[in-house]
Amino acid sequence: MADTQATCPMESHFVRGEHTLKVPMSLFRENRERLAAVLRGNTAVPEKGAFVVLQGGVEVPFNDTDISWPFRQESYFQWCFGVEEPDCYGCIDVTTSESILFFPRLPAEYAVWQGTLYTTDDFRKRYAVDKVYYTDEIADVLSERGASVLLTLNGLNTDSGLAAREAVFDKIGQFNVNNTLLYPEISECRVIKSPREIEVLKYVVKVSSDAHRAVMRTVRPGLAEFQAEAAFMHHAYSVGGCRHVSYTCICGSGHNASILHYGHAGAPNNRVLKDGDMCLFDMGANYCGYAADITCSYPANGKFTEDQKMVYNAVLDARNAVMNAAKPGVSWSKMHLLANRVMLGGLVKGGILVGDVDQMILAGLGEVFQPHGLGHLLGLDVHDVGGYLPGHPTRSSEPGLRKLRTARTLKAGMVLTIEPGCYFIDCKLDEALANGDQAKYIVREELERFRGWGGVRIEDDVLVTETGVENMTDVPRTTEEIEAWMTVGRNSKLPQECKFSDA
């Protein structure tokens, strides 16, 4: 993909090979300037002497060994600075937007293991910031600049239930610290993507789309789920330069396709695909910290049965309805209900359900077949921040809606996933059949045919524009498109059948 951004030739970039997108460090400078401008407009922030202080991610050792987990930068720190190294701090002077980075002062012998130890001036040029010091100088530097209040990060992530990491450094106690002002302001900034951020997101979604296409032509009976995962990761890294995926790959086949977050340690994508299986593969690459999140569902043998086609089209119709209706000013909660209404209507046409769809929604039947929300914000985190910030709709307690990761009204510049799904989950079906208010809509003998069948999810990454949404995902979506795409390469060998030549 060509670099579509007008950048200075001398500007430092994040890049992974000449064939990958060059991300200019000015992206992060613009983010810092946006944040500082917002904070200057907050009457609770002093006119002078206010500094944002963020602590970057730290290297995490693998249990008690002397190796570490692959490092990924803390997301708020990445948004502001784009720094690749661990154990750093960053400050922003709210009044002037001046940026300061602090790096660990490493002993000289580290050069043997880590290569050249860069100077503070090297880091200043690389990350296009105003000043760089060492982390043991933070208190002195802030004192010299007359810091009257430090704005630190402290807030609850409404997706994980975990608190953001608040900056702590030696002698921080000598400063006036405010840990309530920053979180809602910086989180709201992250909700609306800048044009440069959108370019990165389009790139990583394109890489992920192409990787999904590669997997579709790899998949067939006899392949293991983890081999599909490996095919995705190989393409994303070797072609797209994406060293990381944004979450553990979900490669469910057969019944596993009904497990929403399959692929975890207890179920590590290890089933072998069988003829007649539906596959549900949810995978997204990560580039420069930015996430993609795409789900494709299709038959392992490349040909839909009538039952598979019926369920798939019910979900596809729901996805299409939301694509056509979503635009600025529209409630995401209403989009979720629209998707559920269309999907349940498809199941009525397929003979699994009977009755009035609106009454089914009131009875909570939508949550039986789709026990998750319609989608979520997307950015530096796959479930990006901003879902339930102050001043926006709170989480509903109603069936279905209570699973939403946000209930916000859409705005131009938001990036979200649209991911309706239909699953046949034994415990949910058993609960529904035991519930008279729900069971009366279910055609029991038809439903039994789908026990152990799995599920379908169709997930696209979309940008909210001034007039609607732009789908950044580019994969086959209709049953005809999928079957045509999967026809190619059906006779190639399985990976385990490929032998190295002795020649």
Judge if 249 and 148 occupy the same domain. Answer: no
Judge if 225 and 283 occupy the same domain. Answer: yes
Judge if 206 and 176 occupy the same domain. Answer: no
Tell me which residue has tokens 């802030």.
142
- Phi, psi angles (nearest 5°) of residue 377: -65, 150
Among 191, 215, 249, residue at a domain's last position: 191
Q: Report yes or no on 8 lying in a domain.
A: no
Judge if 124 and 200 occupy the same domain. Answer: no
Q: Report yes or no on 469 lying in a domain.
A: yes
Judge if 207 and 87 occupy the same domain. Answer: no
Q: Report yes or no on 1 lying in a domain.
A: no
Could you tell me the residue range of the domain that residue 359 belongs to? 195-491
Alpha-carbon dihedral of residues 488, 491, 495, 500, nearest 10 degrees?
Answer: -120
- Which residues, other chains included, contact 113 with Cβ-Cβ below 8 Å and sequence gap of 6+? none
Judge if 163 and 88 occupy the same domain. Answer: yes
Whether 200 and 287 have beta carbons less than 8 Å apart is answered as yes
Cα–Cα distance measured from residue 125 to residue 132, given in angstroms and rounded to the nearest whole number: 10
Residue 127 sits in a domain whose CATH number is 3.40.350.10
Q: Report yes or no on 3 lying in a domain.
A: no
Judge if 181 and 258 occupy the same domain. Answer: no
Q: Report yes or no on 499 lying in a domain.
A: no
Q: What Rg value do the Cα atoms of the chain yield, rounded?
A: 25
Supply the pTM of this predicted model: 0.95
Please name which of 425, 260, 258, 450 lies closest in space to residue 352, comparing C-alpha atoms: 450
Judge if 162 and 302 occupy the same domain. Answer: no
Chain centroid offset of residue 296 CA: 15
The residue count for the chain: 503
Judge if 335 and 243 occupy the same domain. Answer: yes
Q: Report yes or no on 168 lying in a domain.
A: yes
3-state helix, strand, coil in the chain (%, to 5): 35, 15, 50
Give me the number of domains the chain comprises.
2
Residue 421 sits in a domain whose CATH number is 3.90.230.10
Among 163, 191, 219, residue at a domain's last position: 191
Q: What is the pLDDT along the chain (503 residues), one digit of tens a residue?
A: 344 444 454 579 999 999 999 999 999 999 999 999 999 999 999 999 999 999 999 999 999 999 999 999 999 999 999 999 999 999 999 999 999 999 999 999 999 999 999 999 999 999 999 999 999 999 999 999 999 999 999 999 999 999 999 999 999 999 999 999 999 999 999 999 999 999 999 999 999 999 999 999 999 999 999 999 999 999 999 999 999 999 999 999 999 999 999 999 999 999 999 999 999 999 999 999 999 999 999 999 999 999 999 999 999 999 999 999 999 999 999 999 999 999 999 999 999 999 999 999 999 999 999 999 999 999 999 999 999 999 999 999 999 899 999 999 999 999 999 999 999 999 999 999 999 999 999 999 999 999 999 999 999 999 999 999 999 999 999 999 999 999 998 778 898 888 776 44
Q: Report yes or no on 486 lying in a domain.
A: yes
Judge if 176 and 200 occupy the same domain. Answer: no
Judge if 260 and 152 occupy the same domain. Answer: no
Q: What is the set of active-site residues?
A: 66, 261, 282, 293, 372, 376, 383, 419, 423, 457, 459
Judge if 186 and 207 occupy the same domain. Answer: no
Lay out the sheet containing 285-287: strands in order across: 244-245, 285-287, 290-291
